[in-house]
Structure 1
Amino acid sequence: MKNKETTGQAIARSLVENGVDTVFGIPGAHMYDFNDALYEKRNEIRFIHTRHEQGAGYMAYGYAKSTGRIGAYTVVPGPGVLNSGAALCTAYGANSPVLCLTGNIMSHLIGQGRGQLHELPDQLATMRGITKVAERIDHQSQTGTVMAEVIGKMLSGRQGPGAVEAPWDVFGMTGPELDLPETRRAEDPQVNPDNIQAAAAILANAKNPLIMVGGGAVDAGAEVAELAKALNAPITSHRSGKGVVSDDHPNYLNFVAAFDYWKDTDVLIGIGSRLELEFMRWKWLPKGLKVIRIDIDPTEMVRLKPDVGIVADAKAGTAALSEALGTTGSAPRTKEFAELNRNAKQRFSAVQPQVDYLNAIREALPRDGFFVEEISQMGFTARFAFPVYGPRQYVTCGYQDNLGFGFNTALGVKVGNPDKAVVSVSGDGGFMFGVQELATAVQHNIAVVAIVFNNNAYGNVLRDQKQAYSGRYIGSDLTNPDFVKLGESFGVKTYRVTSPDGLKLAVSEALQLNVPVLIEVPIEKGSEASPWPFIHPTPPAG
């Protein structure tokens, strides 16, 4: 005879079966039976409780984005779900498998509008609007099936976040121990050989092809490098694609250098990329440009229609294209690419003080360390001025560009990569969105080095109001705490440095301590050079 188990216990068991070893979150009344089930699984699942639901969501995102594994978190329904909604938006935009586990009001009251604790008019619809998949467990017997369905869809094709809710009374519902169905990912689409041949025919006549990689190519770095070698083509990336091919690979072009090359590009090959850089940031297409796309998501071929669309996993599609091409036999162009990079670096070195500070961080951070950007003057500049040497090592929020994600996300990155160095950069504005999670870092000894560049402003807003609105400032000035005293009050080792050399020394020392560290870098308000001319370059005349 089978043992009895609750819905909460079945969910916890399903998490273990699907390789989840960490859950972030905050306990709450609707979730007590699930929280208790996590306690029972404490030898298999680490529970990291946070000080805000948004922090839990972002930590799960950082875990997922940096490891490729499921990042799970649990919050109460209603306000808990909404507080974590920004993190789900980020996971959706950046194609990361983040799983939200939440509750709902009593099952017989859902949809009645009775004003129950944490009630939303239609929570499931709300979650479906910001996830790839969201489902409800209405009865204990459904638990295994729902969990397998949601996780399977999250991990299939173009990955994304998922959510599972259960009503308050269902979490504690008892039934026979369930046979958990195997989670099945949908099969990847098969490479269409006709499309490969059509792409190869275009490339046979290409003089200046350019390869653009995005986050969808994160596991295809070797294949992308092989394709670049076959074509004698450069590779570039914007945010999520950073590190897919190392910055010091001879075929890699920094995207500032890539814009110089772009003016003569005749074939663009997008691999696992939305091609935002070329079509939305650069806003100018070379005459006669042909576009080839390799993407696992067929809707990308409709959203931005290419001349040839190869619907396939990036690894398989890129390998098939390389095989069809063979080798060109032409002379390598790596000296040309190196010169483009040198010229670009010389130009963007004028973006100060950001570039010097970023260079200091790069020198102190091990080659395999993780760098977590933030919506800030340093974060924007890092997109073109911070070299990255491996996939997943540059953690970005993707197109959501949501202020305040950085530090909290970095905590999740460190939990997922405990043996690697993790540094986050934030402005004072963004850091204060999640400053309370310093307490989480201390309590769980999450050894992130958090660097706060303090210019007492929302720097981008301040610059825009100065330049475009004649200095009519509203809401851009900030009054901040003493960050050193603030950090120390949490029990965090804290530094204040005022130069790139000082920052390099502080980061190097902080990484040796293996404890949470806060470093404040005061910056004169409004003094930063704008990075935007390099992110939104001016199209050529004529």
Structure 2
Amino acid sequence: MTATVATQLVASLKAHGVRYVFGVPSESFTTLLDALYADGEITFVPARHEGGAAFMAEAHAAASGGIGVVLGGRAVGAANLSIGVHTARENSTAMLVLVGQLHSRHRGREGFQETDLPAFLGPVAKHAVEESDPHRVPPAVARALTLSRTGRPGPVVLSLPEDVLDHETAAVPALPRAGTRPAPSPEDVTAVRKLLLGAARPVVIAGAGVKLSGAEDDLVAFAEAWEVPVLAAWRRHDVFPNEHPRYAGHLQMGTHPDLVATVREADLVVALGTRLGEITTQGYTAPAAGQRIVQVDVEPGQLGKAYPVELAVHADALATMRALGKPGERRDPDWADERQRVYRRVTTVDPAENREHVDNRQIVRALRAGLPPDAVVTNDAGNFAGWLHTFFRFPLARTYVGAASGAMGYALPAAIGAKLAAPDRTVVSVSGDGGFLMTVQELETAVRLRLPLVSLVFNNNMYGSIRMHQERRYPGRVIGSELGNPDLVELARAFGAFGTRVAADAEFPAALEAALAADRPAVVEIVTDPGRISVWNTLDELRERTA
């Protein structure tokens, strides 16, 4: 029995558990869109910009544990969605990126919106290919779906000329293939155990590899058995329950020095499924040169890439922890207890109610108190996030969705993707005014889909992180970082969403309650002090220090 390439592609997506395809309609994909319409089991979610669609697809995959699919047409659509491709690569998120190409007979003649799409998107993708032979499209789809999910997951780009989708094919749908995840060798297990048993102050830095292998519970058991403190790598907050006695904090931009000391004072650093990137390592200063490092990663190319390591283990995080087992002897808990006390000391916020101004610490404290434990928080980029990163506690796995790439504009479309993945859970996006207005048009998408999600917007009328860097180097010489914003409450209402404003943190609990009860998309604008530029500094303090 034959089908068109478009029909076969839709069947392949269904076989891989895809239930939503995100994108902006394109003339390159009218045949595929019609195949989705005819099938009826996969919902096409039209966004207002391909960048927002790509963020939705990435976050949907992150929240569901499946694969995200985004659709973009030709060069302009591909350019717009490229930010989401880069984010999926940085986040190690499985994503199929389908980009349209002009008709095959027009290729190479500078046709309308023609560009070399694999060459364009390849550097930010895990893999990118164009397939113009209709008989080879089905196996190309199968390979793309498999490649995106195996090893270190990532975005795979498949460029398809518009004419190939109408061709008939006898190929069967691409079925999911069970991928093998490498286990540590017996020699590696012995070596890691020896290093751990000989360490008085070990620490685990846990990254995406733990989450992607579903090893969160095993990490808790490992930390308890070996009496080892656990730090979350950059934007991997929910890799370990934050209220657990072995949690020691999150390594972020501007991490409190006492938390960084947990890394610097360790006599063994176990990098478990983390790349040890620039932010996690505080600019490659923690660990310091010469510290003993064991790195465990499913992707061999990551081993020793950022740091020389004493032992490189090419293995899955889950398989590694299970192979290591228990120490076989009682471990001294004093080091782990001490680091947990430090974490609680620098991140605990005592309740207070300011009726004249906003204290972001109190907003974050009240946010945690006002949400159920399994609420999903999506996180934009900007200095406002420092308060969330420092003071919000994630008690459960799969409750955080953020862009390790630092992409602004992520949180709102990510909340849409996460809410579609987890419709029965509360979803809250957290943004600054700069990031929120980069993708605010996706509020219409949320309203159209009738998704009851809440967007918190910390508004200081500036690109705060850029302003901070300016003031550090050129105090008082401000250019380009000041903003003029519309009335965000009225803007939300114009889209058909609920809107409210908070000018003092004492007002926030009631505003949050009203937003959660609105049963539609809601925006809560939080008017913040522009002078309080970061968690630990004011603008005046930065200027004085520089002077």
Aligned residue for 2:199?
206
Is 1:103 matched with 2:100? yes
Cα 1:266–1:485 change in 2 (3 A) is: same
Q: Write the deviation string for residues 341-372 of structure 1: whole angstroms up to 9, x where unpaired.
A: 2322259999x832221112111121100111
Aligned to 1:33: 31
Residues 384, 464 of structure 2: 8 Å contact kept: no
Give the deviation of 1:508 after TM superposition: 2.3
In the other structure, the counterpart of 1:190 is 183
- The one-letter amino acid of 2:236's match is G
Q: Aligned pairs, how many?
A: 523
Matched residue of 2:500: which SS? strand
Which residue of 1 is the match for residue 543 of structure 2?
none
Farther-moved stretch of structure 1 (148-157 vs 294-303): 294-303
Residue 251 (1) aligns with residue 257 (2): no
- Percent identical pairs in the alignment equals 28
Paired residues for 1:110-121 under 5 Å:
110=107, 112=108, 114-120=109-115
Cα pair distance change 1:313/1:164, threshold 3 Å: same
1:165 paired with 2:159, answer yes
Q: Distance in 2 between matches of 1:239 and 1:392?
A: 15
TM-score for both structures, normalised by structure 2: 0.91
Conserved? CA contact 1:154–1:160, under 8 Å: yes
For 1:156-214, what per-residue CA distance to the aligned partner results, in whole angstroms no more than 9, with x for missing partners? 011101122211111222x2442234332542223211011111111121101001101
Q: Using a 3 Å threshold, how does the CA distance of structure 1 residues 244 and 279 change in structure 2: closer, same or farther?
A: closer
Alignment partner, residue 318 of structure 1: 321
Q: Which moved more, 1:260-269 or 1:98-107?
A: 260-269
In the TM superposition, what is the alpha-carbon distance from 1:88 to its structure 2 partner? Answer: 0.4
CA deviation after TM superposition for structure 1 residue 336, in Å: 2.9
**In structure 2, what residue type is equivalent to 1:266?**
D
Q: What displacement does 1:102 show? A: 1.9
Q: Please give the secondary structure, in 2, of the residue aligned with 1:78.
A: helix
| Secondary structure, counterpart of 2:237 in structure 1 | coil
Q: Which runs of 5+ in 1 are unaligned?
A: 534-542
TM-score by length of 1: 0.91
Please say if residues 260 and 340 of structure 1, whose CA atoms lie closer than 8 Å, have aligned partners that are also in contact.
no
C-alpha distance 288-474 of structure 1, shift in aligned 2 (>3 A) = closer
Kindly report which structure 2 residues correspond to 1:100-499, keeping only aligned pairs within 5 A, or say none: 100-110=97-107, 112=108, 114-120=109-115, 122-173=116-167, 175-218=168-211, 219-255=214-250, 256=256, 258-276=259-277, 279-281=281-283, 283-285=285-287, 289-303=291-305, 304-323=307-326, 325-330=327-332, 335-345=337-347, 353-398=359-404, 400-499=405-504
**Separation in 2 of the partners of 1:286 and 1:326?**
30
Q: Which residue of 2 aligns with 1:537?
A: none
Cα contact 1:149–1:183 (8 A) shared by 2: no
Q: Would the alpha carbon gap of residues 283 and 348 (structure 1) be closer, same or farther in structure 2, given more than 3 Å must change?
A: farther
Instruction: Report the secondary structure of 1:441's partner residue.
Output: helix
Distance 1:424 1:221 in 2: 23
**In structure 1, C-alpha distance between the alignment counterparts of 2:417 and 2:349, rounded to whole Å:** 35
User: Residue deviations 1:299-335, cap 9 Å, x none?
Assistant: 1213033111111111001111235x33435456664
Distance 1:422 1:287 in 2: 41
CA contact (8 A) 1:78 1:119 kept: yes
1:147 Cα deviation (Å)?
A: 1.2
Q: Give per-residue Cα distances to partners, 1:479-533, cap 9 Å, x unaligned.
A: 1111111111111111111222322222223223331001111123233344589
CA RMSD of aligned residues (A): 2.2
Matched, 1:48 2:50: no
- How many angstroms apart in 2 are the aligned matches of 1:5 and 1:14? 12
| Structure 1 residues 430-476: Cα deviation after superposition (integer angstroms, max 9, x where no partner) | 11111111111111112220111111111122233233213211111
SS of 1:84 mapped into structure 2: helix
2:349–2:365: 8 Å Cα contact kept in structure 1?
A: no
CA distance in 2 between partners of 1:220 and 1:474 (Å): 46
Question: Could you report, residue by residue, the CA deviation over 1:90-134 in whole angstroms, capped at 9, with x for unpaired residues?
Answer: 000110012111210111332x1x2322211x1122222221122
Q: Secondary structure at the match of 1:299?
A: helix
- CA apart distance, 1:284: 4.2
- Are the structure 2 counterparts of residues 278 and 371 from structure 1 closer, same or farther at C-alpha, using a change threshold of 3 Å? closer
Change (3 A) 1:188 1:482: same
Cα distance in structure 2, aligned partners of 1:433 and 1:145: 37
Q: 1:408 to 1:176 in 2, by over 3 A?
A: closer
Q: Distance in 2 between matches of 1:517 and 1:338?
A: 36
Q: What per-residue deviation string (whole Å, max 9, x for no partner) do you get for residues 376-430 of structure 1?
A: 22213322221112223121110x2122112111111111111111111111111
Paired residues of 1:25 and 1:50 also in contact (CA < 8 A): yes
Alpha-carbon displacement from aligned partner over 1:13-66 (angstroms, at most 9, x marks no partner): 111111100011111111110111111122x11111111111110100110112
Q: Distance in 1 between matches of 2:470 and 2:131?
A: 49
CA distance in 1: counterparts of 2:488 and 2:281, whole angstroms:
40
Distance 1:181 1:437 in 2: 32
The structural deviation recorded for 1:263 is 3.8
SS at match of 1:16: helix
Paired with 1:282 and 1:383, the residues of 2 have a C-alpha distance of 20
CA separation of 1:290 and 1:278: change in aligned 2, threshold 3 A: farther
Alpha-carbon distance change, 432 to 181 in structure 1, aligned in 2, over 3 angstroms: closer
Sort the Cα spacing of 1:348 and 1:402 in 2 relative to 1 into closer, same or farther, 3 A: farther
Unpaired segments ≥5 residues, structure 2 = 251-255, 353-357, 539-547
Would you say the 8 A contact 2:238–2:395 is kept in 1? yes
Which whole-Å CA distance do the structure 1 matches of 2:379 and 2:280 have between them?
22
